[in-house]
Amino acid sequence: MSDDAAPRFSPGDRVQVRDDWPERRGPCHIRTPHYLRGRTGTVERVLGAFPNPEDLAFARPAPRRVLYHVLFDQPPLWREGEPGDQVLVEIFEHWLEPAAAPAKEAA
């Protein structure tokens, strides 16, 4: 991994996938599944830094972006599955933000 692509997140960090829809603004190549946008997951593993495929698809210079394995609970995604079922997805860092802290319940 190069210094210009040091990971922002670590295993165990809660992250939220950006709720962004660049395909509505014009032609683009997106590697982030629609069903995950706006969803919260947990970083499982840092995979390293790789040229951004969203730029490579258009033969543009592709900066190296950190790629993660992010784990999501399955039932909230598709309204199916059992508690404990999970989905593991590779997501590039520019699609991730720190997750908001869960709201505390009133005492």
Structural domains in the chain, CATH included, are 14-94 (2.30.30.50)
Write out pLDDT tens, residues 44-70.
999 999 999 888 888 889 999 999 999
- Give the CA distances from residue 84 to residues 38, 77, 80, 105, in Å, rounded to whole numbers and listed in that order: 20, 13, 11, 23
Tokens of 75: 């039932």
Residue 3 has pLDDT above 50, yes or no: no
pTM: 0.83
Q: What is the pLDDT of residue 92?
A: 95
| Region of residue 84 (left: phi > 0; alpha: psi -120 to 50; beta: else) | left
DSSP state string for 15-27: EEE----GGGSSS
- CA distance linking residue 15 with residue 8, whole number of Å: 11
Write out pLDDT tens, residues 69-106.
999 999 999 889 899 999 999 999 999 999 987 666 55
Percentage of the chain modeled with pLDDT above 70: 90
